[in-house]
Amino acid sequence: MNQKTMLLLSIITLTALTACQSDNKTEENKPLKSTLDANTKSLNDLNHSPEIVSLIDFNQEADLSQVSFISASAEQIMANDGLKVNFHSKENGYSNVTLTPNEPWDWSKYDDFNLAIDIANTGQHSVQLYLDITDIDGGNYTRATNIPIGESTTYYAKMAGHDLATPDGDESVELNFMSGLRGNPDTWESDDTQFISLWGKKNLNLKGIKQISLSVQSNLFDKTITLSNLRLRNNPEFNKDYLTHIVDQYGQNATIDFADKVHNDEELKAQKIEEAKQLTGILPKDRSIYGGWKNGPKLEATGYFRAEKVNDKWSLVDPEGYLYFATGIDVIRLSNSSTMTGYDFDQSLIKARESTSVTPEDSQGLNRVDNVVSKTRKLVSPTRMNLFEWLPTYEEPLGKHFGYRKSAHSGPMKHGETYSFYAANLERKYGGKDVDVMETWRDVTLDRMIDWGFTSLGNWNDPMFYDNGRVPFFANGWIIGDFKTVSSGNDFWGAMPDVFDPKFKERALFTVKNVAEQVKNNPWCVGVFIDNEKSFGRPDSIESTYGIVLNTLQRNGKDVPTKAVFTTAMKEKYKNIAALNKAWEKNITSWETFDEGIDASLNTDAQIADYSSLLSIYVDKYFSIVDDALTTYMPNHLYMGARLPDWGMSKEVVESAAKYVDVMSYNSYKEGLPEHKWEFLSKIDKPSIIGEFHIGATDSGIYHPGLIMASDQNDRARMYKDYMNTVIDNPYFIGAHWFQYIDSPITGRAYDGENYNVGFITVTDTPYAPMVKAAKELHSTMYERRFN
């Protein structure tokens, strides 16, 4: 591998690992040979801000020697058609084309501009294309878009500008997303398509841009696009009202029309009547009462769900003994349907969170404040308030759907009033004299699940579904409380528990006991998920993999029980501190000093091996405590694990979890399950389930499609089936759950601003017809495909 290849690989590490953590096999970096067009000027040569600055025009003989590839190939085609790029990422999960200038570009003289490129899709599949821009400080900003099959379109990414004084009085930059949305509306009207923000450093150091990368990641099919005319452009005139009145009274996009948009209450009621004519709620004849496969082999009936390997394929077995494949939908509840309104109340009247609570803030109901508190309502974020064309008063009937969040993970408000347009639409649609709206919604939802072919209700569903007796369900719990914590250095959803603090075990027992009281030993409960996407570590680097160990070793064992256990483990291995110092190349004076806190930086392979064993000690303790709690209170139900995120699946964590769980669970936001990514399953040989995945688009008026992007609803349905077929075809997987039932609010869910098109239904309770059709088709042949 040549030196230039090594440099390129080091530059793209953040991009590749953040997106997929794959063990990529890279092809040699192959620059295109060309000559510099004398008419093409670099940005650094210009002393003023032109309308367009060409970086590379792929239609001309531009400086293509600065273009290189990983697992991709390219060819120059006819003039005015650009550069055809073939992404060969099917086998190893990552493929890119990278532009690396000989000297970093200095764009600091430009204060209101965007990066644009023309792209056509000449292949057979839509392409989710990631754009990564990296500066000289190592900062990287990742965005993405979907390139539909078709002719060339201009795609752009805002780099700077559109400064404004927000209604809240703060000077802000639109790139900072002070709106509280994960994806904002466009700030000018055009036929161009904006790359959508994902993660990273939003305000890059424009004095030095050292790389632009376009990549395809974890796709199921090789992809082909054509690139032309990479350039900088002045931003058009800023629409200062881009965040004003973008949401109508039904929680929909107020600025555009789209398929199935609801315009009045009569349309909602007519939709209800029409759907009722089609829903049957009757299981297919080849299904058991639990949704198992009656045409398959009949195994031992234990009265509860269990797992068994049948003909070298893992399967769940339903209580009657039939093979059972768990497909379902997450978050069938109102908790995630609310959005921040911009209002808050007198904090002295807000009751503090009870320390004994077992429900995190984002999993609680609407929690409307009482009348005394509501009288102190005050506007704290005009930006949020101005998003809405309409909000009811507290006295109106629809005012019952206000709520309150005492804390938020992210966004401009750390706490505040919320409103659920979805709950209001259920009232409009199903409400009437002597009608229990929630009971009606529950019955319609269960009919939908059965008619659409789903065999279960996924994670995070309202406990009112636990006794439904028609569709199996998964229960869940969270271990939260006042136990001590440690840190991985990247605690995405919150600090990690100190699992050796006795209070953690107490809270685990308390949590599982509470779940058991809700489930009531119900045979319709398939299993139990405890916690979600814990930050055990990220395999981006050795340091991030062993972040819990590295950070804990720096702390004092007198205050941190996990540190004290780590100290004991190393004393038992090395006996004397001199032996540890030799192995780690340290100069620690004594075990007492070690326990008080040390410089934990990594020096040697022996140290890495020890960090691996210490991480295993920590993760073993976590899963063993939860397993013991479930054995105590819920011995008849499967322990489904903690839904490991695909960005946090280090070897140690997977192997530790496999010792204790009945079913391994993973959340994987990709186009599917490429074989190379999941080869490790054969080593642990455990039944596994996908706890979360989704695919979204923007054609229903929502500003952010989600983590995996389709070109429209029809493409979304095709991609859903492609993903599910990779699950069905993998012998270790026993099911998958889609995230989630309802689209996120267009203005972002209250907890963290996610405003994704991830639902099987819209905010008006309207099913997405292409998704429903795809689900029915998939489920009608699911068992035959899996077991025959």
pLDDT of 117 strictly over 60? yes
Name the pLDDT band for 173 (thresholds 50, 70, 90).
Answer: low
> How crowded is the C-beta side of 144, counted as CA atoms within 13 Å?
26
Any domain includes 670? yes
CA pair distance 442, 258, nearest whole angstrom? 27
pLDDT of 7 strictly over 80? no
* Radius of gyration for the chain, computed over Cα atoms and rounded to the nearest angstrom: 27
pLDDT at res. 167: 56
Per cent of the chain over pLDDT 90 is: 80
Are 13 and 130 contained in the same domain? yes
Q: 229: exposed, middle or buried (C-beta count within 10 Å: 0-12, 13-18, 19+)?
A: buried
CA pair distance 405, 409, nearest whole angstrom? 11
User: Going along 186-255, which residue ranges are E strands?
Assistant: 193-194, 196-200, 209-217, 223-234
Asked if 498 and 484 touch (Cβ cutoff 8 Å), the reply is: yes
pLDDT at res. 5: 34
Are 553 and 494 contained in the same domain? no
Are 162 and 70 contained in the same domain? yes
Are 566 and 468 contained in the same domain? no
Average pLDDT, the chain: 90
CATH number (domain holding residue 484): 3.20.20.80
- DSSP secondary-structure letter at 347? G
Any domain includes 242? no
Asked if 234 and 408 touch (Cβ cutoff 8 Å), the reply is: no
Average pLDDT over residues 302-323: 98
The predicted-structure confidence for 451-478, as pLDDT tens digits, reads as follows 999 999 999 999 999 999 999 999 999 9
pLDDT at res. 57: 76
Name the pLDDT band for 51 (thresholds 50, 70, 90).
Answer: low
DSSP code string of 550-584: HHHHTS-TTT-HHHHHHHHHHHHHHSSHHHHHHHH
Domain enclosing residue 87, as ranges: 3-234
Any domain includes 745? yes
Average pLDDT over residues 435-453: 98
Name the pLDDT band for 542 (thresholds 50, 70, 90).
Answer: very high
Q: Please, which residues bridge with residue 738 across strands?
A: 329
pLDDT of 6 strictly over 80? no
pLDDT at res. 43: 41
Are 86 and 55 contained in the same domain? yes
- 395 Cβ neighbours under 8 A, 6+ residues apart: none
Average pLDDT over residues 230-244: 93
pLDDT at res. 198: 95
pLDDT at res. 254: 98
pLDDT at res. 172: 58
- 201 Cβ neighbours under 8 A, 6+ residues apart: 135, 139, 140, 141
The predicted-structure confidence for 22-39, as pLDDT tens digits, reads as follows 333 333 343 433 322 333
Name the pLDDT band for 588 (thresholds 50, 70, 90).
Answer: very high
Are 12 and 110 contained in the same domain? yes
Final residue in a domain of this structure, among 397, 419, 441: 419
CA pair distance 553, 602, nearest whole angstrom? 12
Average pLDDT over residues 60-76: 76
Name the pLDDT band for 82 (thresholds 50, 70, 90).
Answer: confident
Name the pLDDT band for 165 (thresholds 50, 70, 90).
Answer: low
Average pLDDT over residues 570-587: 98
CA pair distance 674, 93, nearest whole angstrom? 8
pLDDT at res. 25: 34
Asked if 238 and 187 touch (Cβ cutoff 8 Å), the reply is: yes
The number of domains in the chain is 4
The predicted-structure confidence for 410-430, as pLDDT tens digits, reads as follows 888 999 999 999 999 999 999
Any domain includes 514? yes
Q: Is the peptide bond before 364 cis (omega within 30 degrees of 0)?
A: no
Average pLDDT over residues 611-615: 98
pLDDT at res. 76: 63
pLDDT at res. 730: 97
- 278 Cβ neighbours under 8 A, 6+ residues apart: 451
The predicted-structure confidence for 704-761, as pLDDT tens digits, reads as follows 999 999 999 999 999 999 999 999 999 999 999 999 999 999 999 999 999 999 999 9
Any domain includes 710? yes
pLDDT at res. 168: 56
Name the pLDDT band for 577 (thresholds 50, 70, 90).
Answer: very high
Any domain includes 643? yes
User: Which tokens belong to 151?
Assistant: 């002719």
Asked if 322 and 313 touch (Cβ cutoff 8 Å), the reply is: no
Q: Which of 56-70, 393-407, 616-630 has the lowest mean pLDDT?
A: 56-70
The number of residues in the chain equals: 788
pLDDT at res. 233: 95
Q: 508: exposed, middle or buried (C-beta count within 10 Å: 0-12, 13-18, 19+)?
A: buried
User: Which tokens belong to 96?
Assistant: 């890119």
Q: Which of 266-275, 544-553, 670-679, 689-698 has the lowest mean pLDDT?
A: 670-679
pLDDT at res. 44: 40
The predicted-structure confidence for 622-661, as pLDDT tens digits, reads as follows 999 999 999 999 999 999 999 999 888 899 999 999 999 9
Are 565 and 487 contained in the same domain? no
CATH number (domain holding residue 215): 2.60.120.430
Are 582 and 710 contained in the same domain? no
Q: 355: exposed, middle or buried (C-beta count within 10 Å: 0-12, 13-18, 19+)?
A: exposed
Any domain includes 209? yes
User: Which tokens belong to 221?
Assistant: 């099919």
- 480 Cβ neighbours under 8 A, 6+ residues apart: 357, 358, 360, 507, 511
Closest CA to 724 of 685, 695, 756: 695
Residue 145 CA from chain centroid, whole number = 16
CA pair distance 502, 446, nearest whole angstrom? 41
Residue 259 CA from chain centroid, whole number = 26
pLDDT at res. 335: 92
pTM for this entry: 0.92
User: Which tokens belong to 627?
Assistant: 């397993």
Final residue in a domain of this structure, among 563, 593, 611: 611
pLDDT of 16 strictly over 90? no
Are 534 and 557 contained in the same domain? no
Any domain includes 140? yes
Are 780 and 688 contained in the same domain? yes
CA pair distance 475, 358, nearest whole angstrom? 14
CA pair distance 479, 262, nearest whole angstrom? 40
Final residue in a domain of this structure, among 593, 611, 629: 611
pLDDT at res. 192: 97
Beta strands 322-324; 293-298: pairing state = antiparallel
Handedness of CA 351, 353, 358, 364 (dihedral sign): positive
Are 14 and 132 contained in the same domain? yes
CB atoms within 10 A of CB 58: 25
> How crowded is the C-beta side of 623, counted as CA atoms within 13 Å?
27
Are 529 and 578 contained in the same domain? no
